[in-house]
């Protein structure tokens, strides 16, 4: 989530950390958390929600999100747009709760737990490591309940472990990109990064309808998969992100497009 007036405990927690919490329809604060919340979305969030709503990624992004450019890293992020004219409520909240509950975003699933990722030193050098913290909203009565969880059991109960698996590679790309010493992101790359991160249907057209497959050597089996498998397409988009962010040579330019040595220099 983006910074807000919420109280975020500054202590780092692990998957074994325990807390008491419960959320149910009869609770006094029901639905109060689904307003005025700047929900940062992940690639897999968009994939699930656009499918649920029967929209293309482009339609979903235009209707339900705005772009937030991170000041430090220049990464473009999609953020779920609240309805200003309706007391800042989420477009998906209903009297019965979340109208897209089975496909709600990862941050909604985690709440009241927050998750971060950082580089830690290890014997193999710096490795990405997840950490957790608690978010305490003044209006949330969930912490007054007696049901006890570990962060791990909460994560499983909310189905957010699957989201983490799907988004991990993307989170690590940002971390590696923002590592100290890396130059600030070239702004001209922002539209491509945004497309490959969030706008999967446009990315598919980019792969199949531009000169992309003439330029890059992609395995024919993988090409076939990308036509119908959206998860494979999302993972291929992560590969593309690594390539354009110059993190890894994940794509190979076809030999015929590699620059031939200048004849004058060769002699």
Give the binding site for ligand SF4 (CB under 6 A): 23, 27, 29-34, 37, 39, 90, 92-93, 98, 100, 104-105, 108, 111, 137, 139-142
Residues 6+ apart with CB under 8 A from 183: none
Residue 48, phi then psi, degrees to nearest 5: -70, -45
For residues 11 and 39, what is the distance between their CA atoms, to the nearest angstrom?
Answer: 22
For residues 30 and 96, what is the distance between their CA atoms, to the nearest angstrom?
Answer: 9
Query: Of the two residues 117 and 141, which places its CB atom closer to ligand SF4 in the complex?
Result: 141
Query: Of the two residues 76 and 142, which places its CB atom closer to ligand SF4 in the complex?
Result: 142
DSSP string, 43-71: HHHHHHHHHHHT--HHHHHHHHEEEEE-T
Smallest separation (angstroms) from ligand SF4 to the CB of 85 = 16
Query: Of the two residues 6 and 32, which places its CB atom closer to ligand SF4 in the complex?
Result: 32
Smallest separation (angstroms) from ligand SF4 to the CB of 123 = 40
**Cis omega (within 30 of 0) for bond into 235:** no
Smallest separation (angstroms) from ligand SF4 to the CB of 158 = 10
Smallest separation (angstroms) from ligand SF4 to the CB of 93 = 4
Query: Of the two residues 104 and 204, which places its CB atom closer to ligand SF4 in the complex?
Result: 104
Residue 21, phi then psi, degrees to nearest 5: -165, 145
């Amino acid at each position: 989530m983006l910074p807000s007036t919420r109280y975020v405990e500054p202590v780092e927690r692990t998957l074994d950390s325990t807390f008491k919490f419960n959320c149910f329809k009869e609770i006094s604060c029901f639905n109060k958390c689904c307003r005025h919340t700047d929900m940062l979305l992940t690639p897999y969030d968009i994939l699930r929600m656009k499918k649920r709503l029967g929209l293309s990624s482009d339609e979903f992004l235009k209707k339900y999100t705005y772009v937030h450019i991170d000041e430090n890293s220049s990464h473009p992020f999609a953020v779920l747009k609240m309805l200003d004219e309706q007391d800042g409520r989420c477009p998906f909240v209903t009297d019965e709760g979340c109208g897209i509950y089975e496909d709600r975003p990862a941050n909604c699933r985690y709440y009241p737990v927050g998750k971060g990722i950082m580089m830690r030193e290890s014997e193999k050098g710096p490795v990405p490591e997840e950490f957790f913290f608690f978010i305490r909203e003044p209006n949330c009565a969930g912490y007054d309940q007696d049901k006890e969880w570990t962060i791990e059991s909460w994560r499983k109960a909310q189905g957010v472990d699957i989201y983490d698996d799907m988004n991990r590679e993307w989170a690590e790309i940002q971390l590696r990109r923002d590592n100290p010493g890396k130059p600030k992101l070239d702004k001209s790359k922002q539209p491509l990064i945004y497309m490959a991160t969030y706008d999967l249907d446009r990315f598919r057209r980019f792969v199949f309808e531009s000169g992309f497959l003439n330029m890059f050597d992609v395995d024919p089996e993988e090409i076939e998969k990308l036509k119908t498998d959206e998860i494979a397409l999302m993972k291929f988009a992560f590969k593309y992100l690594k390539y354009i962010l110059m993190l890894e040579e994940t794509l190979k330019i076809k030999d015929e497009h590699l620059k031939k040595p200048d004849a004058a220099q060769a002699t």
